[in-house]
Structure 1
Amino acid sequence: MAYQGQNNFDHRQAQKLGVLVTNLGTPDAPETGALRRYLREFLSDPRVVEVPRLIWFFILHMVILVIRPPRSAHAYKSVWTDAGSPLMVHTEAQCAGIRERLQSQFGDDIEVRFAMRYGNPSIASQLQAMEEAGVRKLVVLPLYPQYSASTNASTFDAIAKDFMQRRWLPDLRFISHYPDYPPYINAMAKHIEAFRAEHGTADKLIFSYHGVPKKYLLNGDPYFCECHKTSRLLAERLGLGDDDWLTTFQSRFGREEWLKPYTDHTLMALPEQGVKSVQVFCPGFSSDCLETLEEIDVENRGYFEEAGGESFAYIPALNAEPDHLDALTQLIEENLQGWELPENDAVGLNERQQRASQKGADR
C-alpha cells in the first residue's frame, strides 16, 4: 500500500494545533446532476441506510437516484442564495468565527478549517491541507449536538478511512456529541428568548429534530434519548410548563417506522386540539439548511395552516450568532486542554533542521 505523505516536508516547518469543524454537506449546485452525485454519496453510506448492500444498491440506483434528484433540485433552488447553499454559507461563517476566537488566544499556532461529510470541501482534502500546514494535534467537532451513528459515527468513519491511507497521523481528539453542554443550551435559550421578545409567544413551542428509523433506537442508538434530553434542558432553561412544548421528528422517507411523533403529523393535528399558534425551533441543526428553510418553514407551515392553524413561526437556527460561536469555541478549548503549544520560534526550528541534517535527514 502506498501511503499519503507530505512531499514538501521540511524539518523547519512550524507545527500547529488543528481544529476541523464538520457538517453534513450540500450539493455543489441546485441542479439535477449535482443532486444525483451528492445523494449517491450520501445514501451509499451504510451508516445512513442500514439495509443489505445488494438490495439497497438496486433500490438506490434504479429508483431513488432516478426519481429524487429532480425533486430535490427544485427544493434546493427555493432556498439557494447568491452566496450558495445556506448550509455552506453558515458553516463557513461559523468556521470563520471560531477561527477568529481561537487565533486571538493561540495566534498562528492553530489551524481551523471546516469540511463536509458528503460533498465539498471533503474531509480528506481538509485533512491533507492540515497536514501540509503542520497540524500534529487535531480536534474534530462534528456539528451534530445529539449523537447518532448515522451522523457522528459516520464522520469518524470518514476520518478513520483517510487515516488508513496516511503515513503520519496526528494526535486525535473527537468530540462525539454535546446534547447537554450548558453553553449550547444557554445559547439556544437566549436565541429563542430574543425571538419571542420581538415576535411574541405561541400556544406551543415545538422542538423538531431530524428523524432516524426506529430500529436504530431499538439497536442501541442514543439519538432519541439525547434529543429528548436537549429538549428537556432547554424547556427548563426557558421556564416552560409541560403543556407549552413538544418534541417531534422530521425528514423521514420510506415505508418503515421512524422516530415519533412525526413533525408533519403533529402540526396537522394540533389545530383540532385548539392549538392555533406554534413556533418551531430545530435544536439538532447547527445551521439553517433545506430541512429547516424548506421542509419546516414552507412544507410544514402549509400543513399547519391547511389544518386550521392561524399563526406559524419558524425560529432560525443558531447559525453564526455570537453566543453560538462562543459556546462552540469553549467546547473546543476544553478539548484542547493538556496540549502544549508547539515551539515554533525561528531559532528552534533551525536547530531542528540542523540536527536532522547531521543525522542524514536532509529535509
Structure 2
Amino acid sequence: MQDSAAAKPTSHPPVKHGKVGVLLVNLGTPDGTDYTSMRRYLKEFLTDKRVIEWPKIAWYPILFGIVLNTRPGKVGKAYEMIWNKDKNESYLRTYTRSQAELMAASLAEHSNVIVDWAMRYGQPSIASRMEALQKQGCERILLFPLYPQYAAATTATVNDKAFEFLLKQRWQPALRTVPPYHDDPVYIDALAVSIEKHLATLDWEPERVLTSFHGIPQSYFDKGDPYYCQCQKTARLLRERLGWSKEKLVITFQSRFGPEEWLQPYTDKTVEKLAQEGIKRIAVLNPGFVSDCLETLEEIAEQAAESFLHNGGEKFAHIPCLNDSPEGMSVLETVVRRELSGWV
C-alpha cells in the first residue's frame, strides 16, 4: 500500500496544515508622522464606508478637496507628541505587537497555535497576516478585533476585511470572529484593578472619574448599532464593581468628527463644564481602548488635561489603558482561550 506522500502527484504543491491561527487586530497606525504617511493612512481610514456612511457623492469632494489636504499636517503634529521615538513607531503598534508576543507565550502549551497581529488601516494589513498564517499551515483562524464594545465602524470593518481576503481564496481556512466582551467579569475586574492601582499612586483623590469612550454619530445608533448600549453596560458594571455612584463615575464620548451630532455627553464639553462648576480634581480612563494611542495619549492626557486646568481645575490624571499589563493580558488570554474551545 502506498503512503499518502507517495500517492501525491509529483506536481502537487507543498502544503502545510494542522495549525490554528490567532490574529489580533487593532484599528491602525500611520507608518510615520510625515505628511505623505499621514495622508495615506487617513485616506484608507476615511474612505471606509463603515466609518463614514455618507454617500460618496457628498463625502468625497469634502474628503479629497479639504480633509486630505489639511488634516495630514495637523494630525502628524499630534502624532509627533506621542510617538514612540525609541522604536520609531506609534505606541499602538508597540503595544499590539507586545500583546501578540505575550499571547503566543501564554499559549505555548499548544504547539499547533500561531499568534500574529495586524491593523485594519496601515501595516501590517489583515490580508497580509491572514495569508502568512495560511502559508504556515493554519487551517483555522480566530480573528480577534481588539474592541470590547461592538461597533460597525470598528469590529464589523475588521470582519469585512477578513471576509474580503477569504473571497479571493480557493482553499479557505475556517474562520471564527471574537464577539464583544464588554460585560465579561474578567474585563470589568481588570479595569477596576487598573483604576485602583493608579489612583493609589496619587496624593489626591478625584472628585469625578470619567469613562471616556470613542464616540460614533448618533445616526449610527439610531440605525441599530449596539455600541452605545454596550458602553453604558460597561460603565454600569464598573461602577458597581468599584462601589461608586453615578455622580462619581461618569460616562462620556470623545473624538467626534464632522458636523453630525454624536453620542453624548461629549468628553471635552464635560471636562470644561466640571471645571467651570468648581470641580477641582478629576481622572479619566478609556475603557473602550485596549491600548493607548493618539486618542488617549494626546486627546485625553494632553488636550483634556489642558482644558480642565485652563477652566479652573487643579488636578487631572489620565489612567492608562490596560495595554500589555498583566491585567490586560489576562483579559485577552481569557477571551482567546474561550473562543478557541473545540479547536485546541
- TM-score, length-scaled by structure 1: 0.89
Code of the residue aligned with 2:157 in structure 1: it is S
CA positional deviation for 1:8: 8.9
Question: What residue is the counterpart of 1:283 in the other structure?
Answer: 287
The partner residue of 2:106 within 77, 101, 105 is: 101
CA offsets per residue over residues 8-50 of structure 1, 9 Å max, x none? 9435x34201100000000000111000000000000000001
CA offsets per residue over residues 212-266 of structure 1, 9 Å max, x none? 1100011100111111110111111111122211000000111111110000000
Q: Say whether the 8 Å CA contact 2:91–2:293 is kept in structure 1.
A: yes
Code of the residue aligned with 2:103 in structure 1: it is I
Distance (whole Å) between structure 1 residues aligned to residue 333 and residue 249 of structure 2 = 29
SS at match of 1:279: strand
Q: Say whether the 8 Å CA contact 2:278–2:312 is kept in structure 1.
A: no
CA positional deviation for 1:279: 0.2
Question: What residue is the counterpart of 1:352 in the other structure?
Answer: none
Question: What residue is the counterpart of 1:201 in the other structure?
Answer: 205
The partner residue of 2:304 within 291, 300, 304 is: 300
Distance (whole Å) between structure 1 residues aligned to residue 41 and residue 92 of structure 2 = 14
For structure 1, the 5+ residue unaligned runs are 1-6, 342-363
Question: What residue is the counterpart of 1:35 in the other structure?
Answer: 38
Code of the residue aligned with 1:100 in structure 2: it is A
**1:330 paired to 2:331:** no
Question: What residue is the counterpart of 2:3 in the other structure?
Answer: none
CA positional deviation for 1:58: 1.1
CA positional deviation for 1:170: 1.2
- TM-score, length-scaled by structure 2: 0.94
Q: Within 5 Å, give how 1:135-214 maps onto structure 2.
A: 135-199=138-202, 200-214=204-218
Distance (whole Å) between structure 2 residues aligned to residue 8 and residue 314 of structure 1 = 57
Code of the residue aligned with 1:33 in structure 2: it is T
The partner residue of 2:93 within 82, 88, 92 is: 88
Question: What residue is the counterpart of 2:321 in the other structure?
Answer: 317
Q: Within 5 Å, give how 1:3-42 maps onto structure 2.
A: 9-11=13-15, 13-42=16-45
The alignment covers a number of residue pairs equal to: 331
Code of the residue aligned with 1:185 in structure 2: it is I
Question: What residue is the counterpart of 2:7 in the other structure?
Answer: none
Question: What residue is the counterpart of 1:356 in the other structure?
Answer: none
Question: What residue is the counterpart of 1:75 in the other structure?
Answer: 78
Distance (whole Å) between structure 2 residues aligned to residue 243 and residue 72 of structure 1 = 34
The partner residue of 1:53 within 41, 44, 56 is: 56
Could you say which structure has the greater relative contact order, defined with CA pairs below 8 angstroms and 6 or more residues apart? 1
Deviation >6 Å, runs of 4+: none
**1:224 paired to 2:228:** yes
Question: What residue is the counterpart of 1:360 in the other structure?
Answer: none
Distance (whole Å) between structure 1 residues aligned to residue 17 and residue 167 of structure 2 = 24
CA offsets per residue over residues 295-329 of structure 1, 9 Å max, x none? 00111111111110010000011100012112211
SS at match of 1:51: coil
SS at match of 1:121: coil
- % identical equivalent positions: 43
Distance (whole Å) between structure 2 residues aligned to residue 290 and residue 244 of structure 1 = 26
Code of the residue aligned with 2:58 in structure 1: it is I
CA positional deviation for 1:59: 1.1
Distance (whole Å) between structure 2 residues aligned to residue 282 and residue 20 of structure 1 = 23
Question: What residue is the counterpart of 1:249 in the other structure?
Answer: 253
**1:266 paired to 2:270:** yes
SS at match of 1:173: strand
Distance (whole Å) between structure 2 residues aligned to residue 311 and residue 203 of structure 1 = 10
| Residues 296, 9 of structure 1: alpha-carbon distance in 2 compared, 3 angstrom cutoff | farther
| Residues 131, 9 of structure 1: alpha-carbon distance in 2 compared, 3 angstrom cutoff | farther
Distance (whole Å) between structure 2 residues aligned to residue 110 and residue 8 of structure 1 = 26
SS at match of 2:102: helix
Question: What residue is the counterpart of 2:4 in the other structure?
Answer: none
Structure with greater proportional helix content: 1
Q: Say whether the 8 Å CA contact 2:149–2:182 is kept in structure 1.
A: yes
Code of the residue aligned with 1:285 in structure 2: it is F
Q: Say whether the 8 Å CA contact 2:183–2:237 is kept in structure 1.
A: yes
SS at match of 1:193: helix
